[in-house]
Structure 1
Amino acid sequence: MTDELLDQRAVARWRNAIIVAFALGGITMSTWGPRLPSLRADLGIDNSFLGLILGGVTIGSIGGLVSSALIGRLGARMAIRSTLWLVSAGVATIGLGAGMAHSVWLTTLGFVAVGFGIGAVDVMINVEGSAVERAAGRTLMPLMHAAWSAGVIIGSGIGAASAGLHIPFDWQFVGEAVLVAIAATIATGFIPVAAPQEGEKAPMADRIRAWLRGWTDLRLLLIGLVMLGVELGEGSANNWLTLGVRDGHGQPDAIAAAYFTVFAIGETAARVGGGPLVDRIGRVVAIRVTTAVGVVGLLFFILGGPAWLVLIGVVLWAVGVSMGFPLGMSAAADSGPNPAARVSVVASIGYVANLGGPPVVGALSEHVGLLNALFVIIILLIVGFFCAGALRPRGH
């Protein structure tokens, strides 16, 4: 067996490990979405208070800041593994805190733990994904992000089935947490132990300075604006779609959870097929087409009408937010030196929207209704449409 073949197999195992890590991230982030009606009822809170609790996940942006330090100290294998363990513990804490203890504080602690872990691991697996692409010599990032969406399908499917079978959500959350921890332990064993990448050996103060310099880069900020809209759209779907279908369109819990599963399937399909399309039309056109589709889908969902029209809106909404994050990450990574710091900047912007958006939407919903609160996503998608030119490859 040749060394080249051995290298190809090692790269394939590395690629598959990162794909699994993406999928586990999607599973954990979709754990609570389908069960929010039950979680809200057990805690005895309204949408505004629920939004504040979900806002605990905004700590994820800080997790992204420390990700390069974790890789530098632990190596990619142990850094990704340990943060996924933290995420698993957070999911279990949410379930036990809300379902058994009926404690707002314990539930919030669980969301903070999940947010910190996801924020860190997401930057790490995107940087590792870029390294896999270079080793493999072909574009793999859209497929990897499709794995995240596939994880959302699995997680939301579990949530929908559990709601339909009246399984307590605390049992569901603890069971998923255990399985995610086991899968993370196995998968990360195939991540190679390699020399730290650029900037990973630098002192923490230097890493922070490099991260702060990124916030003065106009191109990175414009990429971040694109990601702001699509990530608010995705995060709002994860947290409010089921309640929108239930409270705004009068559907039962199981049907509302099924609509969320349709959203996840639509987003995954768009990402699986998106890579070849991007190669043909480029990142800029791809972002403009998908954000325009997302605006139409959200209008269908908000304005309502027959159930089938709302369902079409869900699908178009999913397509509209499908490509912004993977293409934004790729654009940030190749926009200049120190890709980990640059990816961390745009990831921070994305996570402010994805994870910090729920409190905003929840607060707005108390004044204008949940469906009308979603108009803020439309506004930001339109902003992203006009900022899409920032995603052009360097030199174009």
Structure 2
Amino acid sequence: MSLSSEIENTTAHVASPVKRVATRAIFFVTGMAMGLWAALVPYAQLRTHSEAGDLGLLLLCLGAGSLLSMLGSGRLIGRFGCRAVIIASVVLYCLMLPLLATFSDIWLLALTLFIFGMGIGLADVAVNVQGTLVEQASDKPLMSGFHCLWSVGCIAGAGGGALLLSAGITPQGSTWFTIALVAIITVYSYRGLLPFGAHEEEEPVEGKTKARPNFRLMLMSVMAMICFMAEGAVLDWGGVFLTRERGLALEHAGWGFAVFAIAMSLMRMTGDAIVSTLGRKRVLVVGGMLGIAGYLMVVLLPGWIFPLCGFALVGIGAANIVPVLITLAGQEKVMPVNMSVALVATLGYLGVLGGPALIGFIAHLSNLYVGFSAVAAAFLVILFGAYQLKYQ
């Protein structure tokens, strides 16, 4: 069968349950690989004898690798299709996992982590492109459910890795167990992965002016960036705020991000139904309002219970914003789906990398109250954007 015939045949069945299950599976296994790395971080610090500052720079390699691969992901997906890019990226990050549990030289570990990040970033964009195409063909909201499986995978990877390590399995052994599970799930999902990366009618025409992002796509990118920044703020600064400013015991510092992540996961489980009921515009508006309310609760109300509730409220509000933005990006006609989704995902990811650093800079000049208030103010852009976007 020719490639064009295969594309035509597959396009007619993009909305099939097999495609939906395969999309969820890749979201899950990629999240699981990330979660396992979280469980391996303390062992990496012990092997390399790295200080906190060195470890911070080491962890930055993961983000740098992800961002670099995301920058070229749209073109790769458009040329080779979702299936080929997903399989290549899964193989890439699986090959790196045992090395992450082995290397004691900090430079070798940094290089490995950089390549691991490239695999994660590439898989992230490719599966979002596939998810967008599957959702469009099914004509009903699916993206929140897809993203929920990423969160579940992170929990499974971190929690399962911790259980394996607690049971006496070596770090290397836990990676091989994870690789085997990823391989089984990926092979099972293979036939449900799309061999193309955009709608057939979106293929570039020779001599046609190169497509460029419009105002709405750039606005979506900024909105996604703010949402990722809000998540990074809770992850990197939530525990510091709770312990230093609210008197929470140091051993309970992780509860800030825990309640945020749990609230986000639960909301994404029901996110598709919420989008169907409220519509995408209302989801963005309500999500932005809850994000503002949550951060204001964190900085204005006393004690540590109210800030914990505030972080949970931020998780509820932010949960479905990015999935909705990915869907809307795929509906813009000025660029092929693979390029528009890659643009929003890549620029949005800058919020994870640069957001916490910006908040730290603000806190250095003033305090974390001002830093979190700045994040609350940034959610106003999401409210503004909700009324500027086009909905189908």
| TM-score of the two chains, using structure 1 as the length reference | 0.78
1:1-396 → structure 2 map (5 Å cutoff): 11-32=16-37, 43-46=49-52, 50-56=55-61, 57-72=63-78, 74-97=80-103, 101=104, 103=106, 105-158=107-160, 165=166, 170=171, 174=175, 177-179=178-180, 181-183=182-184, 185-192=186-193, 194=195, 197-198=198-199, 209-210=210-211, 213-214=212-213, 217-241=214-238, 250-253=248-251, 255-257=252-254, 259-301=256-298, 305-336=302-333, 337-361=335-359, 373-393=371-391
Structure 2 unaligned segments of length 5 or more: list them.
1-11
Cα pair distance change 1:9/1:75, threshold 3 Å: closer
Mean Cα deviation higher: 114-123 or 35-44: 35-44
C-alpha distance in structure 1 between counterparts of 2:33 and 2:274, whole Å? 29
Mean Cα deviation higher: 372-381 or 136-145: 372-381
Residue 324 of structure 1: how far off its partner (Å): 1.6
SS of aligned partner of 1:315: helix
* Count of matched residue positions in the alignment of Structure 1 and Structure 2: 376
SS of aligned partner of 1:393: coil
Residue 193 of structure 1: how far off its partner (Å): 5.6
| TM-score of the two chains, using structure 2 as the length reference | 0.78
Any conservation in 1 of the 2:86–2:126 contact (CA below 8 Å)?
yes
Letter in 2 for 1:26: G
Cα pair distance change 1:378/1:176, threshold 3 Å: farther
Cα pair distance change 1:175/1:58, threshold 3 Å: same
C-alpha distance in structure 2 between counterparts of 1:208 and 1:246, whole Å? 55
Cα pair distance change 1:332/1:135, threshold 3 Å: closer
Any conservation in 2 of the 1:61–1:351 contact (CA below 8 Å)?
yes
Any conservation in 2 of the 1:198–1:338 contact (CA below 8 Å)?
yes
- What percent identity do the matched residue pairs reach? 25
Mean Cα deviation higher: 146-155 or 333-342: 146-155
Cα pair distance change 1:109/1:301, threshold 3 Å: farther
Any conservation in 1 of the 2:161–2:174 contact (CA below 8 Å)?
no
C-alpha distance in structure 1 between counterparts of 2:364 and 2:52, whole Å? 9
Residue 85 of structure 1: how far off its partner (Å): 2.4
Structure 1 unaligned segments of length 5 or more: list them.
1-6
Letter in 2 for 1:382: L
Cα pair distance change 1:29/1:320, threshold 3 Å: farther
SS of aligned partner of 2:72: helix
Residue 150 of structure 1: how far off its partner (Å): 1.9
Cα pair distance change 1:133/1:284, threshold 3 Å: closer
Residue 314 of structure 1: how far off its partner (Å): 2.7
Any conservation in 2 of the 1:84–1:184 contact (CA below 8 Å)?
no
Cα pair distance change 1:113/1:328, threshold 3 Å: same
